[in-house]
Structure 1
Amino acid sequence: MTYPVSGSCQCGGVTYTLLSEPKLVVACHCKECQKLSTSAFSLTAMVDADAVVFEGEMKEWSRVADSGNISAATFCPTCGNRIYHFNPTEPENIKLKPSNLSDTSLIQPSVHIWVSEKQDWFQIPDKVKVFDKQL
């Protein structure tokens, strides 16, 4: 894949440019991510904050994660599409939601986490790292 690659929310009110390859792409099977994605898991691309340029208004929402850390999320206030998650104590790291990229070919998770809460019908591909809970 060639970088930069662009992304946007469903309505186009928030756009962004990903300047470089993600450090890691993760599929999370926890119940919270199932709620978020309305599917069996949620995809996250771990990137450096300075590797993404955002445009448009975003709102924030947060909750306390099982680890005790704050899990904050940004989203488009018009269509509600999640753009990225972050831990406020680690602002240099962004957990980008890559399903809204214009080229989704980079969405090839090499790690599956929280498989202890995985839907029984989903089969995890061979040759990926698997964790019962968090990394």
Structure 2
Amino acid sequence: MTAPYSGGCVCGAVSLTISGEPIATRQCWCRQCQQLAAGGPTNNAIFKAEDISIEGSLGASTWTAASGNTLTFHFCPHCGTQIYAQSSARPHLMTVRIGALASGHGLKPEAVIWTEDAPEWAVFDDALESWPRQPPPPPSAA
């Protein structure tokens, strides 16, 4: 499938529409993502912020990531569904949780990042680009 993409939270209080294609798709095994994802990785699609429209109220939580950047995660305050994250290093981008997109979107991770933080039982797809820590920004993210 191609843009536009749509999605939202589990309870329906938040919806999103994305008019552009992702700049990158990644699976992240950093420690914070493991905590957010109940022990596994998060699966994310990075879009230009200008391509995303969100309806509904969001909660937010902010902390300093291992990369040294400040990350802000946005979620539905009613059901807790994670919608997107933004990094202080690239505020013009939004990292959307692939699980917040409506089924049939066709997106999947193209790279695995922060593999050095992954637990010993983690399994990585050898066909994907792999980074032990923070990768360089996507080419069109500058």
Instruction: Give the TM-score, by structure 2 length.
Output: 0.87
Answer whether contact 2:20 2:48 (CA < 8 A) is retained: no
The alpha carbon displacement at 1:123 in A equals 2.2
The 1:41–1:47 alpha-carbon spacing in structure 2 relative to 1, beyond 3 Å, is same
Aligned to 1:115: 115
Instruction: Give the TM-score, by structure 1 length.
Output: 0.91
Percentage of identical aligned residues: 30
Is residue 32 of structure 2 the alignment partner of residue 32 of structure 1? yes
Aligned to 1:86: 86
The alpha carbon displacement at 1:6 in A equals 1.0
Answer whether contact 1:5 1:103 (CA < 8 A) is retained: no
Answer whether contact 1:113 1:130 (CA < 8 A) is retained: yes
Deviations 1:82-119 (A, max 9, x none): 11000245321111111121125433111101111223
Answer whether contact 2:33 2:42 (CA < 8 A) is retained: yes
- The farther-off stretch of 5-14 and 80-89 is 80-89
Amino acid in structure 2 at the alignment position of 1:12: G
The equivalences for 1:19-98 within 5 A come to 19-88=19-88, 90-98=90-98
Aligned to 2:14: 14
CA distance in 1, matches of 2:8, 2:34: 21
CA distance in 1, matches of 2:90, 2:134: 17
